[in-house]
Structure 1
């Protein structure tokens, strides 16, 4: 019996509907956003609290990263009353899921193996805003984090919006991260981390390296025109430095502020930002060259730096007697000669090693009397300040800085000189002016690309700020692009200034200087201080000058 055509049509329609449904379900399954804890249940998480475990985990991370030369990186810390505490946790992850959670708050210091890994320029530390985390590590532990790479650079190169780690994970890995404020703002200094904290910290670092690998694969395919490569292929990683070197240690937002600098070259319109703090850097050459500076009759005046000695020679003020060791003889009579132990101190050769542990590796200058106080001393007390500059290895320098904070707190209480806090910044950011400047820069850089509605909104912001103008002109734009957004806080009180003023009026500045020296000796117990180094050095030096009638 022949089947009616209408039945055939119904059957075909039903089959088509079933096929579409199956295909749609399969598509949804492929595109389904998964939970990170389920997807990354293979992670090997290692909690590091001792030097031994630190060395073991770092060695394993290095072994697993030999091929890829990159690892996921992130940091966590605690914020109390709006004030950031020192970094409590550093998270590192290899591409295959080996994670190290380094609890710095428990270890109290960054052990040598971890420091060397973080400072290794041959291994990328990838994540979202890793350079900012590096600044905190430098501030808290004097660690020079090198070869950071913000994965948002690669995301943008592949045509994706930047966004945060959660957004990138959702778009690229189809994975939802746990970004609840309860876990993000939890107690990372707790005696024991919870399982949720461990999972959150490890996944954040691992997701970063996974996204990095995925984006690197895309870039490599586009450049090589080969769609058969995977991010485990050797060709991707051998060319990774070609793709990433231009982004190394570059903040993601940095390049977005360059355009205006290229256009606005008028020197008078530049904005003066707050002065940056001096950066602690490891020495690449010896601090002490131990050259000899002599009086005209050949008497030794002092041991000096080679550059200082050659300065006299190049100026025609001295003769070069010998090159090794450098010996320079002045052609004029100096203002004074070496007298007593004070004078003999400057005639002694100094060793290029840590004065606490005698290490000769990567030593850093340490100001025994912190610069925030000494810079406010009278000129006569700032002369010959090399007496209070000693060398410390990175670990001892970090420990000394931490212990200095106790002394600063003591001085703050004694002198009624509050330490800087979030509510007492020396500079204040004017948010209204910042909004005006932002609008002006958007119009200046992308006026022809902005939608009409958005362009009108930005122009209204400018005209409200400049009521004397009826329209937005190029001259007005240039003016608004450079409007000051930072002003000095007139209520700000310098901690250092109040301390120096207190001692000047009550005890004398020599007393403040001596207390810092005693603090250093008591807390660091240095065994290798230069001979004749004295707590009362300046007092003795000034007495000599007084006796000489200077």
Structure 2
């Protein structure tokens, strides 16, 4: 009871402190904000205390941050009560679904329109009313919106683009927020067709912000589904029908900015400007395809489009996720060796209440340090993982006869200079001349890739503000290639922005599954078997499938350590049985659970986890780790007692189950799979098999990303074989020189 009283008092004191801090902070906010802006540091503040939020000036807010249910539009002729589950235009939409809309002729010209026509910026009430009159006389117009959701619970519409067959309009929905309902009659008209692309979210956002309900819709994304297009993105349609390339990274820009940059203006116009022409092309294809299948595919696309109009916006009416958050916080910071279920539940309940209180304070604006929403997560990801400095330094290396050998980074140049193997011939940009005759030259490989300068930008979309390295050949395979096929080979390492990186990674994971099926090598180690202190080889166990997946084993141990005391008994017993199966069925202790966390990890992963958990690195393991880093992986010299036996399933293609696994090879990822695939390729086909395998991965990358900014000389058929010269660290003489210098 005493603990409860103390905790409640702490919460009350914290609330009082927040109120006092808020009053003090706001008193000097204007002066401090001015100083920050004067220093030019506003954009770099992580907390963004003084960020201008235009939504605070909105007078007509239909969806606020509270937990009150959203009230939908009630039409004057409707005598029934306002309901969060009733659509104001349900009758009109249902009629369109039953009878089918008469689609207008979207575009009268046979060629794609360009952006030479001037646009109209709409930012006043009078301009908006004039636009409404123009749209009333149209049979069809295209619509798109740009949203802002960074540091916002619900987000809001920051820009609307409307295009007719004659003109483009950009609506400043921030300035017009309180009067945007002027367009409601136009959007709800059954006789005017509205063309969207991917309308599901736009429909809800228009309801949320302006009580605008869409009736009579044609969605080009739905038409793509009916036509079974390989892709349904607007970028794909723009490229294929209009020959227009757009930078979709601009979709994530801050659309509250006024004035918009020329790039943002161009991007916003393009999204709606070409939509009517694209819709006309898709309708034409639907009509032609309907003749072959004896079905009205145009009506099917229109039906799917208008069915989406029946969606109704809703928002949370009570806090969610607080229970799991409280349990997670408690298990992370509590004493894992204490077992008192009653006190555990009391403290978890206090943490839950504190989480609810904090959520309410944030929603009321008292806690002004908030960073929420998917765009915020993306921004943090970019900040954490993107390259912090240019990747390509474009330093030049010349042969002794003055011929350019390659472009390189500064670190490689310094390696040659430290060993007296080169001399500087130019300072800016840095260039050196080798003092020895290199083993090979670019023309020997019949490839100009290595003698071309490279740009620090995404090779897919051209994004320059951020980028990450991406390995086209997955590391789980490449790490097992012979040195002469992987060393100093930058051809298959490219730069991608976060969005392109995600697309490429998804394609890679899908193709890995195809490789696993083709070579009959599972992606993950299927089972590992242990019996306490000593591991049992899988062959000695018999035909019965025993053991446990290393990932499943580690997940079970982690869950028991963190949440074992508060999880349901049945679930706890299920996880205990998973861990016991690894130890031969015997009873386990907390020390056993701690040990299980390291099962299947490589030496590097073990060191990282020990450092994170504050565990000392054992002297023997530290010595072994250092030796591994110096000498590399030596097959056949591992300590069998330190690695689990593996049962990887049927390997096929003469790939034997691998029982001797290097300490450097993790059992938790695809490392074992990659090792077996590469070993099979080398055994059956030699180097040519590996080179053809690389070409397949390059093809996967090109099909997924459709890169437009690859360096000159990059080629799917690139031959990556390399011969090592006298001074290379991979030649015998080079290794001896390296060891003597150390």
Q: Higher strand proportion, which one?
A: 1
Specify the TM-score bucket, using the shorter chain as the normaliser.
Answer: 0.3 to 0.5
Task: Please report the TM-score for the alignment, with normalisation by the length of structure 2.
Answer: 0.35
TM-score, with normalisation over the residues of structure 1? Answer: 0.45
